[in-house]
A and B are shown apart, each in its own frame.
Chain A
Amino acid sequence: MAPRRPRMLTLSSKEQLVLELLVREKELYGLQLVASSSRRLKRGTIYVTLGRMEDKGYISSRLDDPPPEAGGLPRRLYRPTSLGRRVLAAWTSATRNVLLEFAR
């Protein structure tokens, strides 16, 4: 099998928002992210975004304790990884520098 090319680290605006919220709150459920994003994240897209970010290694997740009522599914909690924090910091700083450059 051919060796994989290294993946370029990218951060979409939605991913950036998710990371900002997770860095601020430490750990959140998917719906909490939707609720705290002032409608910028949608419940139909949040889990796809979270799955993609997990693939990229920006966030990790764990299952919460099972709900007390029988038969319910445990919820999934998301938190930023060290890579996610570094990418967010680099991205924010790069964006700020570009904006400053344009403002000159």
Chain B
Amino acid sequence: MTKPGEWLRAKAARLCSRNTMERLVDPIVADLQKEYGESVTSGRRWRARAILVIGYVGFAKALLLHGRQAMLATREWSADDRRALGRAFLIAAMTAAVVIVLLEIPPLLKIVQNPSRLRAASVFYLIPQTLPFAIPVGIALGILLGLRHKATGRRVTAAIVLVSIVSSAASLAALNWIIPASNQAFRRAIFEDRPGWKVGRGVNELTLAELRMQMRGERVPDFGFSIDPRVAGVTYHFRWASSVAAVPFAVFALSLVRRRSLKRWVAIICGVGAAAGYYAILDIGVGFARDGTLPPVAGAWLANMVLLLVATAFALGVTTETTPDQGGALTTS
């Protein structure tokens, strides 16, 4: 019979360095086996089960803490890794800023053309809308340009994936709370200066919870009308799908730079091409979902799936001109 913790240990061995296994994983599993064995021998079956649960929770917590610690211990990173990551994040931030400015130009032009109706300050309400687009594109170009000459090790890869997950969480928060509120503020700033006008919320000004209510056909308080549950469903899944877009973009870019060196123009074309392709497919998918050709969830997630498939194809078809992997996200060395 397998000892408790053996399965987890085998899985951890695929992720962790030998040092981490010896100093973190093995002591936890050894103590778990010892404690469990003593309880079983003394006939305390329920205590043994409780020990297993507590032990597994402790195991997961220890690995998470250790991963975070290894990631934050930038002092232990090689100067090359730090430089490459710094460059990637700087390019990502600059790209995101440029994308935000580009997306703000059309409403700014409208303000210039019609200054009496549109107040300049109201354009700032539209900045949150641009984030779910600007962040993934920024991350993709940051990786492609910042790491194009560097064979990325597990540590750098893990740091980038972590940053893209955090960015996705930020995008989700923006899409769920900030954008509906800022959209509504923008609409009010534009239209409520007319006497007798009261601007209600539209579908884009609903939160995820309110969209779910509309999908179920329930009435949303402070929302005057019912929208088609299909449209509500498409909007709901679209928000989830576009908020996690940073992850497939990061995976795609990593699959390109991981083991090969890219010329700058190739990196830019790949990044811009991926963004154009992604948003074209997203648009098509959402269109198909709205007219009922695809289920809402499939239409909204189509672009993410395609980008991940392309990334997988690149990763599998990659040439083997590699440099050795450098360190691991979960190493203690």
Contact = CB atoms under 8 A, between A and B. Distances in A.
- Do chains A and B stick together as partners? yes
Contact of B23 (A29, A43, A51): A51
A72 B3 contact: yes
Given A47-B23, A72-B3, A76-B26, 18 more contacts: A29-B31, A30-B28, A30-B31, A31-B34, A31-B35, A43-B58, A44-B65, A48-B24, A48-B66, A50-B23, A51-B24, A71-B6, A73-B26, A75-B27, A75-B30, A75-B34, A76-B27, A76-B30
Nearest to B67: A48
A74 B30 contact: yes
Interface in B43-73: 54-55, 57-62, 65-66, 69
B34 A51 contact: no
A48 B69 contact: yes
Interface in A29-72: 29-31, 42-45, 47-48, 50-52, 54-55, 61, 67, 69, 71-72
Contacts, number: 72
Interface string B1-44: 00100100100000000000001101111110111010000000
Closest 4 CB pairs of A and B: A44-B61, A73-B30, A76-B27, A44-B58
Given A47-B24, A48-B24, A54-B23, A75 B31 contact: yes
In this complex, the member of B23, B24, B26, B66 whose beta carbon has the largest number of chain A beta carbons within 10 angstroms is B23
Contacts of A2: 79
20 contacts: A29-B31, A42-B58, A44-B57, A47-B28, A47-B62, A48-B24, A48-B66, A51-B66, A51-B332, A54-B23, A61-B23, A67-B34, A67-B37, A71-B6, A72-B33, A72-B34, A73-B3, A75-B27, A75-B30, A75-B31
Interface residues of B, number: 29
Contacts of B332: 51, 55
A73 B33 contact: yes
Contact of B33 (A30, A44, A67): A67
A1 interface: yes
Interface of A: 1-2, 29-31, 42-45, 47-48, 50-52, 54-55, 61, 67, 69, 71-76
Contacts of B57: 44
Contacts of A52: 69
Contact of A44 (B27, B29, B62): B62
